[in-house]
A and B are shown apart, each in its own frame.
Chain A
Amino acid sequence: GQNIDQPTEMTATEGAIVQINCTYQTSGFNGLFWYQQHAGEAPTFLSYNVLDGLEEKGRFSSFLSRSKGYSYLLLKELQMKDSASYLCAVRDSNYQLIWGAGTKLIIKP
């Protein structure tokens, strides 16, 4: 079966750095995506990785290792508005998105 694992909840301090991990086992691989979802809102796209390595976009970076079936999302200089759920999703060989359950990130002052 297909499976994506990420921690259920994480807590970090404003101004700090946090890393959210995602491991996956899917039927094929055509890219990994990170989405941010605030409570009561639809997900918004954050990042995309299809090749191994680090993709940086401002305060957010995403890393991928295809051989290990592993990715992480790194958030720097945390702000209170970063409190949200972060969803990891993998596009499989049929170009379908397989979603993780999401990681709820709580930012404390």
Chain B
Amino acid sequence: GAVVSQHPSWVICKSGTSVKIECRSLDFQATTMFWYRQFPKQSLMLMATSNEGSKATYEQGVEKDKFLINHASLTLSTLTVTSAHPEDSSFYICSARDVRGKGNQPQHFGDGTRLSIL
């Protein structure tokens, strides 16, 4: 089946550090990738939609200068949390949509990245 690889799975770093998270679709091409954030005991919150070769579309309230998204190819999107602070600590999950269309499983999820800022 379709696989999305997300790396790293766990990051602990100091306040002020920038952290890059990679999301790769391993056996399909993804024109669109999604980045979610999930705080403990809360639902998924869509941060941005990343389209290959164009600028990402950010949800209201998400700072595009702080959460840099690059979708340079059909199999890779990256999220960089710049100058991270403790309040950015969260579970970040990416998902990818197969170019083959609008089938019965619209998004394939990565395993998530747990980010802890000290």
Mark A residues whose CB is within 8 Å of B. 30-31, 33, 40-45, 48, 50, 87, 91, 95-97, 99-102, 104
Q: How many residues of B contact A (CB 8 A)?
A: 19
- Cβ contacts A to B, 26 pairs, < 8 Å: A30-B102, A31-B104, A31-B106, A33-B105, A40-B91, A40-B112, A41-B111, A41-B112, A42-B110, A42-B112, A43-B44, A43-B93, A43-B109, A48-B104, A50-B104, A87-B43, A91-B102, A95-B102, A96-B49, A97-B106, A99-B43, A99-B44, A99-B46, A100-B43, A101-B43, A102-B43
Q: How far is the CA of A50 from the CA of B105 in the complex (A)?
A: 12
Partner of B111, one of A42, A102, A104: A42
For the complex, is B107 an interface residue (Cβ under 8 Å from A)?
Answer: yes
Mark B residues whose CB is within 8 Å of A. 6, 41-44, 46, 49, 91, 93, 102, 104-107, 109-112, 114
Q: How far is the CA of A87 from the CA of B109 in the complex (A)?
A: 14
Given A42-B93, A87-B43, A99-B43 in contact, is the A48-B111 Cβ separation under 8 Å?
A: no
The residues of B that contact A95 with a CB separation of less than 8 Å are 102, 106
Among all A-B residue pairs, the 3 with the closest Cβ atoms: A48-B104, A101-B43, A42-B109
The residues of B that contact A48 with a CB separation of less than 8 Å are 104-105
Q: How far is the CA of A48 from the CA of B104 in the complex (A)?
A: 6
Residue on B nearest A55 in the bound complex, by CB: B104
Residue on A nearest B107 in the bound complex, by CB: A97
Residue on B nearest A95 in the bound complex, by CB: B102
Partner of B42, one of A31, A44, A50, A101: A101
Which residue, A45, A96, A100, has most C-beta atoms of chain B within 10 A?
A: A45
Partner of B105, one of A40, A41, A45: A45
Is B43 a contact partner of A44 (Cβ separation < 8 A)? no
The residues of B that contact A30 with a CB separation of less than 8 Å are 102
